[in-house]
Every structure is written in C-alpha cells, then in structure tokens.
Amino acid sequence: AQTVTQSQPEMSVQEAETVTLSCTYDTSESDYYLFWYKQPPSRQMILVIRQEAYKQQNATENRFSVNFQKAAKSFSLKISDSQLGDAAMYFCAYRSARGGSNYKLTFGKGTLLTVNP
C-alpha cells in the first residue's frame, strides 16, 4: 500500500517570502501522479498543482512549483512571494496510474501554513 508522509505539521512564512513544504511517499509502482491540495479555513479542497511521475520536468503553476525527486520519492512544494491568502492546510496526495486501479487519492496528514504580515 502506498503511504504519504508530511513531516512538518506546521510552517510559517513572512509575506512576500518563499516557503517550501516537504512530502515523501512510499510506493512500488513506477507510474503515478502526485498532487498538492490546499484547504483554507473555509474547508474547501483546492487543487494547487500536480505532477506526473513519468515527467522529469517539475510542474509550475504561477507562484507554486514543485521539486520532484523520483528516486528519493520526494515531492516538495515551493510557494514564492507568499501572500496572506496562501494561509491554509496543505495536503500532499498520491494516486496510482496503473491500469485497472481505482485512482483513489492517498493523502498525507497535512502541513498548516501560516503567513505573517
């Protein structure tokens, strides 16, 4: 079974600064997808960014980028120019890409990000 570990229960960053959230995962599969979801106080689950394991290039979405290290099974999220609206719980998630699988998401425990003005 796949597992996802987020070792930082809480992180804080100053507005306009850069912060990196860590995520490691364990899998025996070679094809999979990785995601970062954001959950603000409103409790919505918002997709931030995704990475296909077969792609070597790191995904980027505006101020959000990832550092995907497949051999190390590491998938960190970098938030640049942090804004007050970035304050939220961030979840790392894994999904198999194996044919016939159910494509469920396996989540880490989350990292609570505080942005200080």
Nearest to 49 by CA among 92, 113, 106, 10: 92
Q: Does 105 bind other proteins (CB under 8 A)?
A: yes
One residue of 20, 78, 106, 112 binding other proteins per CB under 8 A: 106
Please say whether the dihedral angle defined by the alpha carbons of residues 24, 25, 30 and 31, taken in this order, is positive or negative: negative
Q: Of 29, 103, 114, 116, which one interacts with other proteins (CB under 8 A)? A: 103
Task: Name 10's bridge partners.
Answer: 112
Pattern 11-50, other proteins, x by CB under 8 A: ----------------------x-x-x----xxxxxx--x
Q: Give the interface segment with other proteins, choosing from 9-17, 57-65, 76-84, 95-103 (CB under 8 A).
A: 95-103
- Residue 46: how many CB atoms within 10 A of its CB? 11
* Six token digits for residue 52: 């296909």
68 sits near other proteins (criterion: CB under 8 A): no
First and final C-alpha spacing in the chain: 41
Q: Are 16 and 8 in contact (CB under 8 A)?
A: no
Binds other proteins (CB under 8 A): choice among 58, 64, 67, 107: 107
Which parts of this chain interact with other proteins (CB under 8 A)? 33, 35, 37, 42-47, 50, 52, 91, 95-97, 99, 101-110
